[in-house]
Structure 1
Amino acid sequence: MTTATPTPSHPEGSIDCEVRDAVLLIGINRPAKRNGFTPKMYRELGEAYTRLDDDPALRVGVLHALGDHFTAGLDLPTIAPLMQRGEKAVPLGLVDPVNLGMDGYRRRTKPMVVAVKGITYTLGIELMLAADIVIAADNCRFSQLEVKRGIMATGGATLRMAERAGLGNALLHLLTGDEFGSAEALRLNFVQKVVPAGTELDEALAIAHSIAAQAPLAVVATRLNALKALEQGPVVAMHEFIDTQQRLSRSEDAAEGVRSFVERRAARFQGR
């Protein structure tokens, strides 16, 4: 079973990064408080996502959590003052971890795989829905419970839950704030795989390393085109096909792909 290298937990929590080959392992570290997010943690998460996008040696991110739970969500006593002032914890100019495309924020280009376990509330669901592939432990407890606190989910749940599961299924959980398990999350297409608790990070890393072995330029282009099709429609995405394929086919990686096919060996892509 894979474990991340632990570091002492800061009272306000921390986001701990570890590089494993071309994968950036991003750890949520505040287990004593069920990994409840403080402004410090949210800012550091934006910094970690930005690092992933900006470092050419990194190809895939894996988001996970230390301790028994993914996250109980936002630490409201520390976050509420920001909400009341209409401020964001992530500084402008960084990659937005919930990838909403808000003015002043960058959108992530590289793939993100998430491993969730135990309590996965509010922001936890929104982070995994904003990612690309989600591996859930079979002991997950999900809840989008903002209505129980007198607020609204603004990290993407109102958009992406309906997109994945249909409006009725989304509102069932958004309007009741009820708790549901991994089987329901799989049924609703919120997660892609459910695995025995304790193996979710291994599975996420295996998928991330498999993605990292592919041609980086092609991976990014494929991901962005699929996202554009979802958000702007298939016709808009289709209009990029010729230009994108022409650009990719002229890359060194495309030439390496042909050589590796002819020579019957694994390709060694450089992202160029």
Structure 2
Amino acid sequence: MAGFLTIEKGHGPEGRVAVVRFDRGDGINALSPEALRQLTEAARSFEDDSGTSVVVLTGGTKAFSAGFDLKDPEGRSRKSMDIGALRRHLKLGPRMTRAWQEMEQITIGAIEGFCIGGGVALAVALDFRVMARDAHMRVPEIGLGMNMSWQSVPRMLHLIGPARTKQAVILADQRIPAAEAHQWGLVEEVAEPGHAFDTAMALAEKIAAQPPLAVAMTKLTVNRLAYALDDLASHMDVDQFALASRTEDHKEGVAAFLERRKPRFKGS
């Protein structure tokens, strides 16, 4: 399998900043099952790395990620899986976002171009997000007859509150431009186009200059308090997704997406 990620260590003060680059070289950076596995392993590779305090995750110059790859052969094989196999396969996404959320290091996402669906799910699992002024986010899952899963809803809820979370998820065609995302609290900093990574690195260097142990302990405390009830709120994610994937509306949503037409949903 081709490697979609590169990891660079030793940046910033005392070499305490690392960079993870996720770039498939196709301009859209879709999240295939193999990409999900590689992103999970990348996060886990920092478990015993006491020399790194901050990890900057960046996508390509045109896209952070277009979300789950609906055209990937392994992903499309879900249609023929029994419910047990499907549930196991659907754990790839939440496993990936959880791995990034649970990292001891501070994590910062640098977002250029677009950040869609699973890309948003990954971004909200990070500690901070920096977005180029001409970039946008979008959460299209409901428009494809699916639920927003990967434990993303509680993470979004913490950042932007209930009404904005409903607005972002239910209005599936709505683009959220960088300025709006910043106003909502979905991103922490807006950068000039092409400079999201530079801005993220500047923030990373400020954080890396702080005492590493105190930073790590503070992150752990905040996360434990903020996310204490998230498993209760989102434990049904996988089963909701498995159920939604069996509906006629899901078939229609995906078919309409692939055929570039407006879907016709019937609630079945």
> Which TM-score band (shorter chain)?
0.7 to 0.9
In structure 2, C-alpha distance between the alignment counterparts of 1:113 and 1:124, rounded to whole Å: 14
The residue number in structure 2 matching 1:217 is: 213
Contact 2:135/2:178, CA 8 A, preserved across alignment: yes
Is structure 2 residue 55 aligned with structure 1 residue 56? no
The residue number in structure 2 matching 1:98 is: 97
Is structure 2 residue 108 aligned with structure 1 residue 118? no
Q: Secondary structure at the match of 1:187?
A: helix
The residue number in structure 2 matching 1:200 is: 196
Is structure 2 residue 77 aligned with structure 1 residue 87? no
1:1-272 equivalences in 2 (<5 Å): 14-19=4-9, 20=11, 21-78=15-72, 79-81=75-77, 85-88=86-89, 96-99=95-98, 107-177=102-172, 178-232=174-228
**Structure 1: any 5+ residue segments left out of the alignment?**
1-9, 234-272
**Deviation (angstroms), 1:232:** 3.2
Contact 2:58/2:64, CA 8 A, preserved across alignment: yes
**Deviation (angstroms), 1:82:** 5.2
**Deviation (angstroms), 1:67:** 3.0
Percent identity between the two aligned chains = 24
**Deviation (angstroms), 1:13:** 6.0
Deviations 1:145-188 (A, max 9, x none): 00111111112332122222221111112112121201111121
In structure 1, C-alpha distance between the alignment counterparts of 2:178 and 2:17, rounded to whole Å: 26
**Structure 2: any 5+ residue segments left out of the alignment?**
230-268
Q: Secondary structure at the match of 1:130?
A: coil
**Deviation (angstroms), 1:137:** 0.4
Scaled by the length of structure 2, the TM-score of the pair is 0.73
Deviations 1:17-47 (A, max 9, x none): 1113222211111131500011221111111
Letter of the aligned partner of 1:107 in structure 2? Answer: E
The residue number in structure 2 matching 1:6 is: none
Contact 1:35/1:71, CA 8 A, preserved across alignment: yes
Contact 1:117/1:140, CA 8 A, preserved across alignment: yes
In structure 2, C-alpha distance between the alignment counterparts of 1:193 and 1:56, rounded to whole Å: 27
The residue number in structure 2 matching 1:270 is: none
Contact 1:100/1:156, CA 8 A, preserved across alignment: no
Contact 2:20/2:58, CA 8 A, preserved across alignment: yes
Change (3 A) 1:96 1:56: farther
Q: Secondary structure at the match of 2:38?
A: helix
In our comparison, the structure showing a higher alpha carbon Rg is: 1
In structure 2, C-alpha distance between the alignment counterparts of 1:148 and 1:205, rounded to whole Å: 35
In structure 2, C-alpha distance between the alignment counterparts of 1:89 and 1:59, rounded to whole Å: 31
Q: Secondary structure at the match of 1:49?
A: helix
Change (3 A) 1:88 1:107: farther
| Number of residues of Structure 1 aligned to a counterpart in Structure 2 | 217
Which portions of structure 1, spanning 4 or more consecutive aligned residues, are displaced by more than 6 angstroms? none
Letter of the aligned partner of 2:212 in structure 1? Answer: P
Once superposed, what is the RMSD of the aligned Cα atoms? 2.6
Letter of the aligned partner of 2:110 in structure 1? Answer: A
